[in-house]
Amino acid sequence: MLTVHGRTQAQFYTGQADWRAIARVANLPDRPPLVANGDVVDAASACAALAQSGADAVMVGRGAQGAPWRLAQISHELWGTPAPDIPQGPALADAVEEHYHDILSLYGAELGLRVARKHLGWYADANGAPNRAELLRAPSPAETVVAIRAGFAETVGAA
């Protein structure tokens, strides 16, 4: 399997992915299964990436930040797989808190508190949590959990 990102190294995270450039790889004889990557954030962009690139599959990167269920959502919309349960309100707060505790468990409380901030920011951005700054500045795990509960318990969730 080969994954090709439709953006140059010089572009880094700027500009638009060029899915048509991936088609040059798709047209090679005897190529392995090809995965198109870059700017895939929903079913519409996944469908466009597949059509323009000639790839066999897509890879979602930043498009799933803060909404890890987006992968199942894209699969559902494109191929009719079961629809994911998109957490909202208290269920979203539960999911974010569980992810937070998993990070603390992996990295320890001190480092985990810092590592988790990028994830909490992504969740806040993707789901409209009104207390992003509080989530990112909470000085302890206990205060972070309070901020998670306050910030996500009333949110609708990312579609």
What integer pLDDT is reported at residue 159 of this predicted model? 55
> What pLDDT does residue 128 have?
93
pLDDT of residue 28: 92
- The domains of the chain are located at 2-79, 90-152
Mean of pLDDT values over 4-27:
86
Summarize pLDDT for 38-83 with one digit per residue, the tens. Answer: 999 999 999 999 999 999 999 999 999 999 999 999 999 999 999 9
In terms of C-beta density within 10 A (0-12 exposed, 13-18 middle, 19 or more buried), how is residue 97 classed?
middle
pLDDT of residue 8: 75
Angstrom distances, CA of residue 123 to CA of 21, 64, 130, 151:
32, 10, 11, 10
pLDDT at 116: 97
Q: Which helix (H) or strand (E) holds 68?
A: none
**Direct distance between the N- and C-terminal alpha carbons of the chain, in angstroms, rounded to an integer:** 30
Which residue from 136, 138, 141 is spatially nearest to 125, judged by alpha carbons? 136
The pLDDT score that the predictor gives to residue 117 is 96
The pTM of the full predicted model, rounded to 2 decimals, is 0.85
Which segments of the chain does DSSP mark as H helices, in order? 19-26, 43-53, 70-79, 90-107, 109-127, 132-137, 141-152
Arithmetic mean of pLDDT, 20-42: 94
* pLDDT over 70, % of the chain: 97
pLDDT of 156 above 80 = no
Q: Which two tokens stand for residue 2?
A: 């080969």
Chain mean pLDDT for the chain? 93
Please, which pLDDT band fits residue 13 given cuts at 50, 70 and 90?
confident
| Dist. CA 87–CA 103, nearest whole Å | 19
Joined together, the tokens standing for residue 115 give: 């590592």
Cα 79 from Cα 49, distance rounded (Å): 15
Which sign, positive or negative, has the C-alpha torsion 95, 96, 99, 104? negative
Confidence of residue 157 (pLDDT cuts 50, 70, 90): low
